[in-house]
Amino acid sequence: MTLLHALDLLSTFVFALVGARIAADRGLDYGGIAFIATIASISGGTLRNVFLGIVPVWIEDPWILASILAAVIITLTLRRVTHVGKTLLILDTFALATATLSGTQFAHELDVPWFSCILLGVITAVTGGLLRDVLCQVEPVLLHRETIGTSALMGASTFVLLHAFDTPEIAAVIAGGIVVVATRVISIQFDLHLPKFRK
């Protein structure tokens, strides 16, 4: 198992765990919790691969589904329904960074144009959370606070920019991930967000 694969599994697990907690908080049944956890964790990578004309990873990698199942079991076992707390928010931020750089790097390895690499990195990172919130009938975080999309965009752009200057792959990935985490943490700490349309 490569480091990137391990990080992919970790981000899948965290996205599934956050999705399961939100679904449980909304009072969904066990099937609904499992469904939301699955959508939250694999839809971004699936959509990215569909755009690239590649079979989605979870179809061929049973470890992806195993990590989702583990998140669902943990949620159902603990049975304590609370809003997503600070610890899960921190983990979700690192998962966002991992998904962003995983998606961007994956597209880059397929010789996709730089602007498409950035867009596919953002899609990989934010699609699951958006669909999760829509299906749970809560206001999508992506669309109104915490600059999740901006964080992913900044991180993916950092990777592409550094790669253009022949920066070693691992250094570009780490730097991009740091930018994602820093952007989101700063936006939460200081309540920063994109300007909103005023009538």
pLDDT tens digit sequence for 90-102: 888 999 999 999 9
Nearest to 141, CA basis, from 158, 153, 124, 129? 129
Angstrom distance (rounded) from CA 30 to CA 90: 25
> What's the pLDDT at 110?
93
Residue 87: what pLDDT? 76
What pLDDT is stored for residue 74 in this prediction? 92
CA 155/CA 100 separation, integer angstroms:
7
Residue 80's pLDDT is 60
Q: Quote the percentage of the chain above a pLDDT of 90.
A: 67
What's the longest Cα–Cα distance across the chain?
A: 53
Nearest to 20 by CA among 99, 126, 132: 132
Reported as a single tens digit per residue, the pLDDT across 35-68 is 999 999 999 999 999 999 999 989 999 999 999 9
Q: Of 75-84, 109-118, 142-151, 152-161, which range is least confident? A: 75-84
- Which H helix or E strand runs over 196? none
Query: What is the per-residue pLDDT for 115?
Result: 97
* Residue 6 binned pLDDT confidence (cut-offs 50, 70, 90): confident
- CA 197 distance to own-chain centroid: 26
Instruction: Kindly state the average pLDDT of the residues 131-151.
Output: 83
CB atoms within 10 A of CB 189: 8
Q: Which residues of 123-136 are buried (b: 16+ CB within 10 A; e: fewer)?
A: bbbbbbbbbbbebb
Sign of CA pseudo-dihedral 18, 64, 172, 2: positive
d(CA 2, CA 104): 17
Whether residue 94 contacts residue 23, with contact meaning beta carbons closer than 8 Å, is answered with: no
pLDDT in tens, 145-189: 658 899 999 999 999 999 999 999 889 999 999 999 999 999 888
pLDDT band of residue 1 (cuts 50, 70, 90) is low
24 has a pLDDT exceeding 60: yes
How is residue 197 annotated by DSSP?
P
| Average pLDDT in the chain | 89
